[in-house]
Amino acid sequence: MSTEAASPHDEHEGDHHAHPKWLAHHFETPAQQFDADKLGMWAFLVQELLFFSGLFVAYGVFRSWYPQTFIACSHQLDKIMGGTNTVVLLFSSLTAALAVRSAQVGNKKATGRFLLITIACACAFLVIKYFEYSHKIHSGLLPGYWYAPHDIHGDKPLPPNGHAFFSIYFMMTGVHGIHVAVGIGVLLWIWARNRRGDFSKEYFTPVDLVALYWHLVDLVWIYLFPLLYLI
């Protein structure tokens, strides 16, 4: 402690060298900043998971109450489009991971390219979702009060309480879709920052964190797809 008091100037100098411009003023070392950011992101992802959990509980309860309705209604969903979207999202998770890898090795160009592919996949997902939604709207397969099925697949009418299935379907995919849209925004921002040259081998935390978020969005869909479309 006495050395600290004795030589403030030296430390001042040393401090200056260890303080690159991307290191926020309140952190002492890059490692501390990276660890804090990473922990914060994981905590945020935990809350995201619990946010979706309410919807999964609703799904579980209603499925156990009305299994026949859920099976019949899930046949109204387009498995081809849903399956395509699953592949698109899985692929985008791969490119997000590759973007992190490129950022870690300091390959700015590849990072940008992978981020753009991720963004393109996210947009493709939303476009496909748009076609799915318009088909549902056309057939009156809507949540709550708007539920009025007509022009549906198969000859048999849907069992009662189909509105509950489509309420849950639209809530789950809607909340997930909002997460995809937010993801596009954040990925674009990271892409612009990458273009500006913000990231380097030493500092790639934002790319890492956004990729984590993107994996979660992907992961939620991996559960939504079989629950809503397949079983």
Partner 1 sequence: MATVATSPEHHDAHGDPNASFLDVAKGPMSWIVTLDHKRIGIMYLISVTVAFALGGIFALLVRAELFTAGKTLMDADTYNRMFSLHGVVMVFLFIIPSIPAAMGNIILPIQLGAKDVAFPRLNLMSLYIYIFGACFGLYSMVHGGVDTGWTFYTPYSSSDPACGQLTPCGPPGVGSPSAVIPMTLSAFIMGFSSILTGVNFLATIHKMRAPGITWRRLSLFTWSLYATSVIQILATPVLAITLLLLTMERFAGLGIFDARRGGDPGLFPHCVWFSSHPAVYIMIVPGMGVVSELIGTFSRRDIVGYMFIAMSSLGLALLGFLVWGHHLFVAGMSEYATMVFSALTFLVAIPSGVKIFNWVATLYKGSISLQTPMLWALGFIFLFTIGGLTGLFLGMLAVDVHLHDTYFVVAHFHYVMVGGTVMGFFGGLQDWWPKFTGKMYDEKKGVAGWALVFLGFNVTFLTQFVLGSRGMPRRYYDYLPEFQQLHQISTVGSWILGLGFLILFWNFAESLMKGPRAPRNPWGSAALEWQTPSPPPLFNFVKDPVVNRGPYEYHLATDAELDEGMADLDAELAKANGADPVKKTEPAKSEPAEKAEPAKSKGDEGDDEEKS
Residues that bind partner 1 (CB under 8 A): 1-2, 4-5, 8, 11-12, 14-16, 18-19, 24-26, 28-29, 32, 35-37, 39-40, 43-44, 46-48, 50-55, 57-58, 61-62, 65-66, 143-146, 160-161, 163-164, 167-168, 171, 175
Residue 157 beta carbon to partner 1: minimum distance, rounded to whole angstroms = 16
Residue 14 or 83 having the CB closest to partner 1? 14
The count of C-alpha atoms lying within 13 angstroms of the C-alpha of 219, restricted to the half-sphere facing its C-beta, is 11
Residue 40 or 83 having the CB closest to partner 1? 40
Residue 112 beta carbon to partner 1: minimum distance, rounded to whole angstroms = 24
Residue 21 beta carbon to partner 1: minimum distance, rounded to whole angstroms = 10
Contact at 8 Å (CB) between 158 and 147?
Answer: no
Contact at 8 Å (CB) between 131 and 41?
Answer: no
Q: Is 49 left (phi over 0), alpha (psi -120 to 50) or beta?
A: alpha
Residue 52 beta carbon to partner 1: minimum distance, rounded to whole angstroms = 7
Residue 43 or 105 having the CB closest to partner 1? 43
Residue 24 or 230 having the CB closest to partner 1? 24
Residue 25 or 150 having the CB closest to partner 1? 25
Q: How far is CA 37 from CA 41, 57, 89, 107, 208, in A?
A: 6, 30, 25, 22, 10
Non-local CB neighbours of 170 within 8 Å, separated by 6+ positions: 142, 143
Angle between helices 67-74 and 162-196 (to 10 degrees): 50
Residue 67 beta carbon to partner 1: minimum distance, rounded to whole angstroms = 13
